[in-house]
Structure 1
Amino acid sequence: MSSTFEMDENGLCIIRCDPPVNGSDSFVFQPEVIASWKVLLGLASTREAIAAIMQGREDTSRYDPKTGRGVWTGAFEALESALADSATEVSMLASDGEILDDPLTAARNKTREGMSLPVMSNETDARMRIALTVDGSDVEASSGIDMACTRNIDGLDEFLNDDSSKNMLDECEERFFASLMPLIKEG
C-alpha cells in the first residue's frame, strides 16, 4: 500500500491513493486549482490546499440553477470586493452563532461549510494571518484542514520542496489574483 504524487507531461497533478481517501482512489487537477483553493478558502499552505482538495465534497444542493450561484460564488465575490476595496454583502454570522469580523473570512467559511471542510474562527484566522506575516519560514501552518492524508504520499514532499514547483505555484497564484483584479484604465 502506497499513495503517490506525480505531475504528468500535460502539467496535471495526479495523486493515486492506496488506501482511498474520502472514497476516491485518485485525484487529478491542474496546479491552478491549488492556488485558487488556497486563496478562496484562506488556506495557509500548499499542503493544506492539497489536503482540502482531497477531503472537500461540494454540497450541490446549494447550487441555484436560476442564478448560477453555488458554494464558491460568495468566496469569489468577497475576494473581488476585498481586492477592489469595496464592501460586500456577506452574512457575518457563522453557523455556530459567532459574529465574524471580516467579510472575506465569513464568505470563506460559507464556502468551507459548502465543501464539508472545517470553518475558521476569528481567533484562528487572526493567529494564522499573524503567523504567516511574521514567520518567514517554510513551516506549514494550518487553518484547520486535517493534513494527515498528505503525509505519506510518495513524491509529494519533493514536489512541495522543489524550487521550480514553488515558483510555478507562485505564478499560478499571481495569475489567479490578476484575474480578479479590477481593470485599471490608463490615461
Structure 2
Amino acid sequence: MSSTFEMDDNGLCIIRCDPPVNGSDSFVFTPEVLASWKALLGLASTREAVAAIMQGREDTSRYDPKTGRGVWTGAFEALESALADSATDVSMLAADGEVLDDPLTAARNKTREGMSLPVMSNETDARMRAALAADASGVEASSGIDVACTKDVEGLDDFLSDESSQAMLDECEERFYESLMPRQSQQN
C-alpha cells in the first residue's frame, strides 16, 4: 500500500492514494490550482497546498445560488482588495470570538472554515510571514495545515524539489496574482 504522485502528459497532477485519504482514492488538479489555493488560503508552501487539497471538504451549504457567492468568494475579494491596496468588507470577528486584525487573514479563515481546514490566528500568520521573509533554510513554515498526509506520497518530494517544477509553479503563481491585479484603464 502506497500513495503516488505523477504529472501526466496533459499537465495534470495526479495523486493516487492507497489507503484513501479523506474518503478519496485519487486527487487530480492543475499546477494553477496549487498556486490559487496557496494564495487564497494563505499557505506557506506548495506542500501545504497539496495537503489542503487532500484534506479539504467544501461546505456546499454556504453557496448562495441567488448571488453566486460561495466558500471561495470572500478570499478572492479580499486578495483582490489587498492587491489594489484598499479596504475590504470582511467581518473582523472569528467564530471563536477572537478579533482579527487583518481583513485578508479574516477572509482566508472564512474560506478555510468553509473547506473544513484549520484557521490561523494572527500570531500564526505573523510567525509564518516572518519565517518566509527570513527564508530560514531547513525550516518549513506552516500556516497550520497538517502535511503528514503528503510525507509518504511517492514522487511528490521529487516534484517539489525539481527546478523545472519550481519554475513552472512560480509562473503559475505569477499568472494567478497578475489575474487579480487591478487593470489600468486604456487611454487612447
Q: Partners of 1:121 and 1:139 in 2: how far apart?
A: 20
Would you say 1:169 and 2:169 are equivalent positions? Answer: yes
- Provide the residue aligned with 1:95 in structure 2: 95
Q: Which consecutive residues of structure 2, in runs of 5 or more, have no partner in the other structure?
A: none
- In structure 2, how many angstroms separate the alpha carbons of the residues matched to 1:163 and 1:138? 17
Q: Which amino acid aligns with 2:47?
A: R
1:17 counterpart = 2:24: no
Structure 1: segments with no counterpart, 5+ residues = none
Distance 1:62 1:186 in 2: 37
TM superposition score normalised by structure 1: 0.98
Amino acid of the residue matched to residue 123 of structure 1? E
Q: Say whether 1:119 aligns with 2:119.
A: yes
Which amino acid letter does the alignment assign opposite residue 152 of structure 1? D
Partner of 2:150: 150
The answer to whether 1:30 aligns with 2:27 is no
Give yes or no for the alignment of 1:85 onto 2:85.
yes
Cross-structure match for 2:6: 6
The alpha carbon displacement at 1:141 in A equals: 1.4
Within 1, Cα distance between the matches of 2:138 and 2:32?
A: 20
Q: Which amino acid aligns with 1:164?
A: S
Amino acid at match of 2:55: Q
Match of 1:49 in 2: 49
Q: Report what 1:64 is aligned to.
A: 64
1:105 corresponding residue in structure 2: 105
Instruction: Give distance in 1, aligned partners of 2:184 and 2:66.
Output: 32
Partner Cα distance (1:14, 1:131) in 2: 30
Change (3 A) 1:33 1:138: farther
Q: Structure 1 segments of 4 or more deviating over 6 A?
A: none
Structure 2 letter corresponding to 1:156: L
Q: Distance in 2 between matches of 1:118 and 1:50?
A: 15
CA–CA separation in structure 2 for the residues paired with 1:137 and 1:186: 43
Letter in 1 for 2:90: V
Calculate the aligned-residue CA RMSD, in Å: 1.0
CA distance in 2, matches of 1:50, 1:105: 20
Partner Cα separation in structure 2 for residue 174 and residue 136 of structure 1: 22
* % identical aligned pairs: 84
Following TM superposition, by how much is the alpha carbon of 1:135 offset from its aligned partner in structure 2, in angstroms? 2.0
> 1:136: Cα distance to partner?
5.0
Partners of 1:184 and 1:162 lie apart in 2 by 36
Aligned residues between the structures: 187
Question: 2:105 & 2:138 partners in 1: Cα distance?
Answer: 23
Paired AA for residue 159 in structure 1: F
Distance 1:99 1:56 in 2: 25
